[in-house]
Amino acid sequence: MQIFRVTSDNASNNNTMMRELAQQLRAHHQIEMNSEESRIGFGLIRAISVKERSSSQHKQHFRNIQSAAGVMASEIKGLVIDMKVRWSSTYMMLNRAYSLRKYVVPFLHELARSEDLSKVQRNEDPKYAHFKPGLEAGLRKIEQYYERVADNDAYIMSMVLDPQQKLTHIKENWTEKLHDEALAVVQKLFRERYYEIYPKSDVRAVSVISRTGSSTCVNHTRPAALAELSSNEEELNSMLRPVQPVNMLSDEAAAEQACKRAFCKYLELDDGVPEGMEIVQWWGLNGHHYPVWASLARDYLAIMATSVSSKRTFSSAGITITKWRNRLKGDIVEALQLLKSALRKSLFLFECGPSSTTERRSANTSKNNGD
């Protein structure tokens, strides 16, 4: 059975014809066809045919494969490409590709290997030879600094503490082994900081946090911690009652569960950083939701990547300490520098309260209005 194109006069006839065609293809040729899609795709065949005819080397390579298989020279053929303006050209393309199908797969494998070889040969072109020493020296220097990065936990933590990335960069660009090692480092540092904030000696408070699902930092005494977590007196009394060991985890297991929950809470966050917001500003606004992570962010994100910022600080301090302010103490200069930086970079997360100057102005305004 040979069918290329069938045109019916209405939709129902078209559907009937496609169902019958699918049944005939399945019964006689073991070809699965979805009659609902109403077409058989052959884009891949056209792409292979175009590739085979794209150069004289490809044509000769395809002929050599047939010759090596024992095909007589007079019967060696090439693939053909269909044309929109030529009747039955698509059928001829499909028919030729089907008849030569056992030579197409070896052709594709050899083609991939030859293209890889061509890339290698281009890289070994003599005109690039004088670049080789410089490139090798650059690679050695990059490897040297990369090893320093691998030995320092600060780089890994700085990437993880970026709420826009977290572990995404490591997962996409590092090997699975390096990803697991980096994750183990992050877990270790988080666990150490967690138990600095929530000491294991206050296990009762940790177990209450684990049961209530809260992640608020608690460093007070047991009654104070329970009072903060309870919403009413009845709930507080129920918390203060002894818990039967059979109904609760061991103290250490409860603490570990709370630690794991706090660790995953930030990493599983889907919300990114709003456009235009700095990472430091994001942590200032959201740190209370992730107290342990925020504590790590204060330590690691404060590390300067370069000395440029410190040099700018010295230059800025020279502007602040003029000859009329040469008796300012160190703590005052530090406060002024921090205030100036916060004002310029909009790092105030909350509205600033009134100063003594604004209070005097308000008092004078009220006095004048009263007069």
CA distance 362 to 364: 5
Residues 326 and 339 reside in one and the same domain? yes
Residues 191 and 231 reside in one and the same domain? yes
Residues 177 and 288 reside in one and the same domain? yes
In-domain check, residue 331: yes
- Residue 176: both structure tokens together: 């699975």
* pTM: predicted TM-score of the whole model, two decimal places: 0.43
Cβ–Cβ < 8 Å for 301, 280: yes
Give the helix/strand (H/E) hosting 62.
helix 56-68
In-domain check, residue 340: yes
CA distance 105 to 253: 58
CA distance 246 to 230: 23
Among the three residues 303, 321, 347, which one is the final residue of a domain in this structure?
303
- Residue 80: both structure tokens together: 């053909």
Residues 187 and 265 reside in one and the same domain? yes
* Domain membership of residue 174 as a residue range: 159-303
In-domain check, residue 245: yes
Instruction: Tally helices (H) and strands (E) across the chain.
Output: 18, 0
pLDDT in tens, the chain (371 residues): 455 556 555 556 667 777 787 788 778 777 776 655 545 556 778 888 888 888 888 888 888 889 888 888 888 888 888 876 677 788 888 888 888 888 888 888 877 777 665 665 566 566 767 887 888 899 888 888 877 776 778 888 988 998 888 888 888 888 888 888 889 999 999 999 999 988 865 554 444 444 444 443 334 344 444 444 444 444 444 444 444 444 445 778 888 889 999 999 998 887 777 888 888 888 888 888 999 999 999 888 888 766 666 666 667 777 777 777 777 888 888 888 888 877 777 766 666 666 677 777 777 777 777 65
Residues 311 and 298 reside in one and the same domain? no
Total domains in the fold of the chain: 3
Measured in degrees and rounded to the nearest 5, phi and psi for residue 331 equal: -70, -35
Among the three residues 249, 273, 303, which one is the final residue of a domain in this structure?
303
Q: Is the sign of the CA dihedral 267, 273, 278, 284 positive or negative? A: negative
- Residue 180: both structure tokens together: 């697991």
How many other C-beta atoms can be found within 10 angstroms of the C-beta atom of residue 186?
22
Residues 207 and 243 reside in one and the same domain? yes
Residues 296 and 189 reside in one and the same domain? yes
Residues 203 and 256 reside in one and the same domain? yes
Residues 189 and 267 reside in one and the same domain? yes
Cβ–Cβ < 8 Å for 189, 296: yes
